[in-house]
Structure 1
Amino acid sequence: MRFGIVVFPGSNCDADCYHVIKDVMQEEACYIWHKETDLQGVDAVILPGGFSYGDYLRAGAIARFSPVMSAVKEFAARGGLVIGICNGFQILLEAGLLPGAMLRNRSLKFICDQVHLKVNRTDTPFSHLFAPGEVVKIPIAHGEGNYYCPPEILEELKANRQILFTYCSPQGEVSDEYNPNGSLANIAGIINKEGNVLGMMPHPERCSEEILGGTDGFKIFASMIKWAKEASR
């Protein structure tokens, strides 16, 4: 399987994602510069974390206009797997590939910490290797991770089961006490209606091998790989 990792000016997690795909998952990986319009025949796209264009205007607002995003939109429309991590999630929102927007953390401070997430669905390309209701521990590092959407959009997300990950306690309790940034409904990650585009604020690439102190992020990439390989048979 071949992953394309999009690199914007200001991306700083692109090498982390490349390492996980190439060295940990033992799959093909390539970098795709933001000015490119050809996705080089990849099977999945990763929009990595960082500070694209310095987060000027607001996070992801300028990156949405990069030439590569037109190709990403077309790829997603054909059913291609797309995952946006942290700044990548912000870009997906700004580009309209996912609904909603990101606000500054309610603390108005940058947060770098470990958080627990509850896996709400196990029938998606990104989560089918998890157990139903499984709680995972994945790091976050962001200043604008406070997810917001209008009430009617939130109802759609719930009705369509698009809320894939929610912030929770180590035991799986979902409450404001365990919400690190003020996100509506404790949302940590959502998918589109078709289920092939995921945006999440936590960084699975930072916990995909034991040397980093945890492997809970491994299953997200492993799920994508298994799903794509089975779909191509």
Structure 2
Amino acid sequence: MSKVRVLVLAGYGTNCQRETAHAAMLAGADEAVIVHFSELLSGEVHLGDFNFLIFPGGFLDGDDLGAAQAAALRWRYARTSSGKPLVDELKRFFEAGGLILGICNGFQLLVKLGMLPGTGTEDFQRQVSLGHNDSARFEDRWVHLRTDSQSPCVFTRGLDRMYLPVRHGEGKLVPRDEETLAELEQSALVALRYIHPESGEATMEYPHNPNGSPSGIAGLTDPSGRILGLMPHPEAFNHPTNHPSWTRGDQAPLGIELLANGVKYLRTQM
């Protein structure tokens, strides 16, 4: 594929698809198309025609059964009009070298579908989940973040500290067990962490860590580095004036730098 073609999935409660598609174009993509889930089932649109897939934020199925749980079941068991499992098309997309980004509700979908952290012995084996915030309320605020330079994540390359907004009620990472959490750390699959703005260290202190995720985990990647899921919204920081203190001259790397890194990576593969 000679162009970076982005598919932004919509439907059943997503509400950030337009903002995400706009951010993808600002990040340098050649094309960003918003596609309803039903179009994949009908065969009107094929994942194989794209090389960058984004699951945007929102409230899939109203978060019934838990955030993105119903959507994960839909992906697991839905079949296309030709009778083939849709999840097999998703596997082929990834195996062909495609990038996958899950933002907020999209991150919740990726972990409940089992694509992140992706270290299981079986395909789509769930190892972590995302549960209710420790504050027991919806958190809408900006947070300080730090990337891991040792992470294989292609989206965070060359980035250090970031400042992005969060808006979620279920953002606390819940690993299956302590061994799973240890593996995430040892394999450098924690791509982003909530940090204290003064020390720059990962924090459990509220509100700097808005949900109580252990070790300040804000985003995960898989061993290939081509999948990233994060609770903060990079697409919502697409212009300097989005920064809450921009009138005071405060600046930070734009959130779309994460998407731009994805675009740059794909261009190196062409």
Query: How does the TM-score come out when normalised to structure 2?
Result: 0.80
**Superposition map of 1:1-233 within 5 A:** 1-23=4-26, 25=28, 27-35=30-38, 36-37=40-41, 38-39=46-47, 41-64=49-72, 65-66=74-75, 67=78, 69-98=87-116, 99-121=127-149, 123-130=152-159, 134-149=160-175, 150-171=177-198, 172-177=200-205, 178-213=208-243, 215-232=253-270
Cα displacement string for residues 189-232 of structure 1 (whole angstroms, at most 9, x for unaligned residues): 00012211111000000012123226431210111011110111
Q: CA deviation at 1:124?
A: 2.8
In structure 2, how many angstroms separate the alpha carbons of the residues matched to 1:81 and 1:106? 31
Percent identical residues? 32
- What are the ranges of 5 or more consecutive residues in structure 1 without an aligned counterpart? none
The secondary structure found in structure 2 opposite 1:154 is helix
In structure 2, how many angstroms separate the alpha carbons of the residues matched to 1:53 and 1:192? 26
Equivalent residues of 1:115, 1:138 under 8 A apart: yes
In structure 2, how many angstroms separate the alpha carbons of the residues matched to 1:190 and 1:81? 14
Equivalent residues of 1:166, 1:174 under 8 A apart: yes
Equivalent residues of 1:126, 1:220 under 8 A apart: yes
Cα displacement string for residues 114-144 of structure 1 (whole angstroms, at most 9, x for unaligned residues): 00111112653101131xxx21100000000
Cα displacement string for residues 61-93 of structure 1 (whole angstroms, at most 9, x for unaligned residues): 111114455433332233311000000000001
Query: How does the TM-score come out when normalised to structure 1?
Result: 0.92
- What are the ranges of 5 or more consecutive residues in structure 2 without an aligned counterpart? 79-85, 117-126, 244-251
Equivalent residues of 2:6, 2:51 under 8 A apart: yes
The secondary structure found in structure 1 opposite 2:34 is strand
Q: Which amino acid aligns with 1:61?
A: Q
Higher mean displacement: 166-175 or 91-100: 166-175
In structure 2, how many angstroms separate the alpha carbons of the residues matched to 1:79 and 1:117? 28
Q: Which amino acid aligns with 1:105?
A: N
Q: Which amino acid aligns with 1:112?
A: D
Cα RMSD of the aligned pairs, angstroms, is 1.7
Q: Which amino acid aligns with 1:92?
A: L
Equivalent residues of 1:18, 1:29 under 8 A apart: yes
Rg (Cα) greater in structure: 2
